Amino acid sequence: MRKIEPILDVKNLYTRFYTESGVVEALDGVNFDVGYGEPVGIVGESGCGKTVTSHSVLRILPKNGRILQPPSEIYYKGVNLLDLTDEQMRHVRGKEAAMIFQDPMTSLNPIFKISDQMVEVIQLHRKVNKNEARDIAIEMMEAVGIPDSAERIDNYPHQFSGGMRQRILIARALALQPSLLIADEPTTALDVTIQAQVLEIIKEMQKQFGLALMLITHNLGVVAEITKRVHIFYGGRVVESGPTEEIFVNPFHPYTRALFDSIPSLEQDKTRLETIPGTVPQLINPPQGCRFHPRCKYATEICRMARPPDVWVTETRRVQCHHWEELDLTIDKEKVKEVRRSTVSVEGV
């Protein structure tokens, strides 16, 4: 469907966790891709498989997690990561695909100086001596906006605030010049004003280095801000994919629609919110057929019986629903263009 070869192409990814209470079907045939230099969002509620996806891609699953092979395939620059040896995989992690995690408090070792933690990573993957590595680290810290980097690099993690620590993690990830950055809820632990600072840096770095970005988040605002394309996850499957602007203006899948209707808006006044009945499914005994059917108002017999196929509705938009034809799925091209032009300033809110 897409003409340009993607940097990351995940096909039929099945990840299972074997626990005492049963087999968790965490990922159940996930298909998605990330293009070269493209910022892509992975969106979903807790337990939908967002984080498991990123851990599967980097093959850092816990011991009880298995990627079923066949049929799972994870192509990174045309190479199936699942065929690589552990040694080869170590070169992919960090050097090719770097990751930043949700909690900036626990991702840094509290008993080592920032300089030690950054130099170690840089020397592991790049052929530089200690001083050069330190210079690279300082340069990266300056790039992400840490004042007095040359002195502060010798501080310990506890001497930095949450926002600053997240900047350090971004600097450390980018120091290896990766082609793909996986950011797992990078701003969830931060306050709004600090979140705005960090998002600005991620946006800037993405453009400056031409990074492919896989941004995992539950915050629809963050996704709208940064990404060009988005994959909506539900219950371990991708229910909808497409350009961010189109999906946010005109969602197809009943879940995506309900999700957008259930968030309170700063722009409109509503007295009651639309709700999705029930809760997110348990993946130990997931619902048969379409995993959204127990909560879906369009659900019929076929939804209970069979898994819906992936359907390409347009060149760029894919939806996983039996009833996509019956839903009003027309894209109002004019409407999309019209609103893209309008801007809202702070005063207009």
Partner 1 sequence: MRSFEEYEVLDTDLFSAWDPDKFPILETKNLKKWFPVAEQSLLYSKTVNFIKAVDGVNLFLHKGETLGLVGESGCGKSTTSKTIIKLEEPTEGSVYFKGIDMFQPMTRVEELAIKRQIQMVFQDPYASLNPRRMVLDIIKEPFDIHFADMPYEEKEARVLEILSKVGLEDYHALRYPHEFSGGQRQRIGIARALAMNPEVILLDEPVSALDVSVQAQILNLLHDLQIDFKLTYMFIAHDLSVIKHVSDRVAVMYLGKIMEMAPTGELFRNTAHPYTIALLSAIPRPDPRIKMDRIILEGDPPSPINTPSGCPFHPRCWKAKEVCSQKQPPLEEIRPNHYVSCWFPEI
Give the binding site for partner 1 (CB under 8 A): 45-46, 161, 163-164, 191-197, 199-200, 218-225, 244-245, 248-249, 258-260, 262-267, 270-277, 279-280, 339-340, 342-346, 349
CB nearer to partner 1: pick between 78 and 278:
278
CB nearer to partner 1: pick between 86 and 267:
267
CB atoms within 10 A of CB 159: 12
* Least distance to partner 1, CB of residue 161, Å: 5
CB nearer to partner 1: pick between 133 and 230:
230
* Least distance to partner 1, CB of residue 35, Å: 18
* Least distance to partner 1, CB of residue 278, Å: 9
* Least distance to partner 1, CB of residue 1, Å: 22
CA distances to 68, 79, 124, 280 from 82, rounded to whole Å, are: 10, 9, 23, 30
CB nearer to partner 1: pick between 122 and 247:
247
Residue type, 197: Q
CB atoms within 10 A of CB 49: 25
CB atoms within 10 A of CB 305: 12
CB atoms within 10 A of CB 217: 22
* Least distance to partner 1, CB of residue 229, Å: 11
CB nearer to partner 1: pick between 74 and 141:
141
* Least distance to partner 1, CB of residue 185, Å: 13
φ and ψ at residue 71, rounded to 5 degrees: -100, 5
CB nearer to partner 1: pick between 63 and 297:
297
In the block, residue with structure tokens 């010798």: 154
CB nearer to partner 1: pick between 1 and 266:
266
* Least distance to partner 1, CB of residue 336, Å: 9
Cα 29 to Cα 272: distance, rounded to the nearest angstrom:
36
* Least distance to partner 1, CB of residue 26, Å: 17
CB nearer to partner 1: pick between 173 and 247:
247
